[in-house]
Structure 1
Amino acid sequence: MNKEPIPHNEFLEIEKEFHDNYANKLDWDTPLEERLSYDTESISHAKIEERFVKMLGSVKGKKILDIGSGFGNAALNLAQKGAIVTSIDISPNLIKGCKYRAQKNDLEVDFRIMDAQNLEFEDNTFDIILGYRTIHHLQDINAFLIGAHRCLKPSGFVLFVEPQKHNPFVEFGRIFIRNSYKDDRTPTEHPLVPSDLRLMKKIFGNMEKDEYLFLSSACQFFSIKGYKTLFKITDRIFTPIDSLLWHLPFLRPLYWQVLVKCEKQ
């Protein structure tokens, strides 16, 4: 039996509380590094970021909307490269911390508290809308995508990195994580399923995507448990195998991370 969906305001409160608590654990004086994501520990995560930056292209002078401010890495690095950046998050504490980091690094970013499902911007405002493991925290991806399409300029594009639902190793691990690391996941998040990707393609009329981390996703649990050497060894073994298996299209929905780009035509 399907669960009754919770009211949207209640959903937002759950996400806000979780990420406010997460913000309180962060060291906002951490020096700004030249990377968009905090997670480049594995070979595949580093490849994802490299590909993300390549698909992003030159950002100087571009108006960019960053969905999910987080620690501010993406927004601040893009501002360093000359982009005109607006960054939104549902968490007041994350926004407060990001504003502090921007001031500390003498960078200008328009950080705002906002629900990504209700984008408060004029039509045709942004050249690029991007997010790094963000939209799986949204209750209604369809509402967000329609809003993102509206806010993009013609020929603008969305670019996202998101987890997929059906990776067998991660799905098995979710039980382990839920029991031992329950504070690391929101109860409302939902990794993407194939129908979410079909929805993106339907709304934008096009899609470019790459999948990452199939067998190598199992190595993440060595990292979680602190077995760093074992993690690095197994990651080096499985990542090249993942690259070969990627050429079998029926396996791609089983990869853990997907990088997606859709252009407004």
Structure 2
Amino acid sequence: MRFTPLLLTVALVATAYACTKPKDPAPPVAHSDITPNSFIGTPREAAAKLNESLVLRDHPELAARHGDAIVIRYAGQDVVTYTDDPKGCMRYVIERAVMVYDPKTGRREPIALVACHFGVTTNRYLVMPDSGKYAVTDDVAASPDGRFLATSDSTVTPSRGAFIIIDWPTVETRAEFPAGCTHLTWQDDRNLTADCWHADTPNPLNPNESEARFFHAKVWRDGGVWRMQALQWVHPETFAPRASAEPLPKFTAVNKTGVDAPV
């Protein structure tokens, strides 16, 4: 009988532990994709939808949103409909209207730059008048007359990431520079500026290459040739000007048609 208080104490402690111990974690929630989602239900999605509404406000002829479906319309005709798919592209969102030259009307007309969000990945592309897609991996900027598009080569080829200027609407014809560029600003129909990088290595387009050099450049059309002249060395992260006595590079674009052969 003298052990009763000890047994009672053990029983009370065991009861208290049973009441307070953490519950087993809930089983993981199944997702339709194999990667965590970084867009659906986040502030990024809310901002993207707000931005889309502003694009459609400014270009009501471009597209119409119907719940989870977006209908792209050019020249008053439905071109293609994209519908959110939990097993594929979870969210389609129009990011921008890009003004390009329309040979049928002789004017600049808007085409849609669409983002497809799935998991942690986002694919972006211009919706072509024939309902096809022109993939873009970086910013795309149309010249004021809409006859040229400046962007990065998005093909899975050795030139992927190269800065290119595309003839519109003949998108298969382009001028290619051995450099990558961002922050594209057109001054007029044949002149633009950009922040660019180049490395004197087998991969001159990789901005993470230790030998990559960053510079602010002007790009212009000289007859039938596009040229690039670096104006100022810049810091790789901030693109702020930096001092250097190193000669500034100059490049002449290579005119190409079609798709390069893959590696």
Taking structure 2 as the reference length, the TM-score comes to 0.28
Between the two structures, name the one with larger relative contact order (CA 8 Å, sep ≥ 6).
Answer: 1
More helix by share: 1
More strand by share: 2
Taking structure 1 as the reference length, the TM-score comes to 0.28
Bigger Cα Rg:
2
